Structure 1
Amino acid sequence: MMFGTTPLNHVGVNGSGKSTLVEVFAMAYGVNPEGGSTGALHHSRTTESGLHSGLGVRRVSHGESFLALITDQFRGGGLWILDEPESALSFSGCLSLLSVLTDLMDDGDSQVILSTHSPLLASLPGADICEVGPWGLRHNDWENLELVQSWRSFLDAPERFHKYL
């Protein structure tokens, strides 16, 4: 499978299959689906899908030093696959990541595949957004994503959600 220069975002709720898709891309390129940089060999138990056999990536883990990793490693052309990188990032950290990813895409020699719960990261300019859910995969515009509508609803009136806690 060949990738173009358009970033591909996978968005959806937990358990919808976003991470499985990221693992498939990673395995297709011979990268450890459990995370880490190129050459990482750690392994617990096989739980990954066999879908990778038809694909071919460079995968990056996240953690406390994620912003430093972004600044130091995200350079030049290549395929960048990120699985929920927002989990280690604050709002401003997500903005920094979005800036780096935008720069990579603007250079024209990179491909980004991103699985996210973040409406901020889902807004990557020019992204082909695939929303994952019980319906399967569907292309959607950012403003129509369930996660964007849910966040807007919460931010407009958090007290409506508090009664369900």
Structure 2
Amino acid sequence: MPAPARPLRRIEPDPDTVVDASSWPDSIPAVRQLLTQGFDVPAGVTFLVGDNGAGKSTLIEAIAEVLGAHTEGGTSAHLAGPDRGHRSDTSTLAGRLRAVRGPGGRREVFFLRAETMHRFYDYLEESDQESLHPVGYQFHYRSHGEGFIDMLNSRYTAAAGIVLLDEPESALSFDNCLVLGAGLQQMAEQGKQVLCATHSPLLTALPGATVLEVGDQGLRRVEWENLGVVKHWRFFLDAPERYWRRVL
């Protein structure tokens, strides 16, 4: 059996990179690990899981920028156009990293982040209307979750070999999270690499996925049942009143 496709083999620091652990983002353990050790990107679907502030989105955004995607979402083809020159979310980390790509495979990258997806929709509807799928389709006419799923089924994702997602579950119902997970598995079967930052115990249970916990220890591979978010949800669903008593 041939080895799984890896359009992106590794993200590594520029040789001249100097790490300053006292300043952001180097103060984040996962970022510091990336800048000192690099990151071998697994094949298939990989989830980054951790608390707010652990560095998940910082890593995803930096990798997207290194690969040529706009930090507000899209592909390298969407860097130009109305209001796309202002990159308020540009990462200071990306300039100190470089990508090591695998031989062959589709090199296009697609990046979608829930936080800025509506600005990306605005851009598409204003500058790329004729190429939307289907003709005349407008993502704003769908619900937040429906538009997200439709975007992941669009020609933009279909053309990509690398798909980056930042907290996609924030837009989705339980059923649509299952739909998303099935779609991610299908992407992996097509030879795509998927890197997704998430808080979802549902998504991270996807069979065959690599789960990396992001925290004080940096990045480490963890089995699903040992994830902090899985343990918390199990305890909460068993006795929610115990959690509410702490905060009310």
What is the CA–CA distance in structure 2 between the aligned matches of 1:94 and 1:45, rounded to whole Å?
27
What is the CA–CA distance in structure 2 between the aligned matches of 1:121 and 1:43, rounded to whole Å?
30
Pick from 9, 27, 49 the counterpart of residue 93 of structure 2.
Answer: 49
Instruction: Map Cα deviations across residues 62-86 of structure 1 (whole Å, 9 max, x no partner).
Output: 3511122123244365101001111
What is the CA–CA distance in structure 2 between the aligned matches of 1:70 and 1:50, rounded to whole Å?
25
- Evaluate the alpha carbon distance shift between residue 85 and residue 48 of structure 1 in structure 2; reply closer, same or farther with a 3 A threshold: farther
Taking only aligned residues, the RMSD between alpha carbons, in angstroms, comes to 2.1
Pick from 93, 107, 110 the counterpart of residue 58 of structure 1.
Answer: 110
What is the CA–CA distance in structure 1 between the aligned matches of 2:227 and 2:173, rounded to whole Å?
21
- Evaluate the alpha carbon distance shift between residue 85 and residue 96 of structure 1 in structure 2; reply closer, same or farther with a 3 A threshold: same
AA matched with 1:80: V
Residue in 1 aligned with 2:59?
21
Which consecutive unaligned segments of at least 5 residues does structure 2 have? 1-7, 10-40, 101-108, 118-143
Query: What is the identity percentage for the equivalent residue pairs of Structure 1 and Structure 2?
Result: 40
Q: Contact conserved, 2:113 with 2:167, CA < 8 A, in 1?
A: no
- Evaluate the alpha carbon distance shift between residue 52 and residue 103 of structure 1 in structure 2; reply closer, same or farther with a 3 A threshold: farther
AA matched with 1:54: R
AA matched with 2:162: L
Which consecutive unaligned segments of at least 5 residues does structure 1 have? none
Q: Contact conserved, 1:123 with 1:142, CA < 8 A, in 2?
A: yes
- Evaluate the alpha carbon distance shift between residue 84 and residue 48 of structure 1 in structure 2; reply closer, same or farther with a 3 A threshold: farther
Q: How many residues align?
A: 163
Residue in 1 aligned with 2:73?
36
Is 1:78 the counterpart of 2:161? The answer is: yes
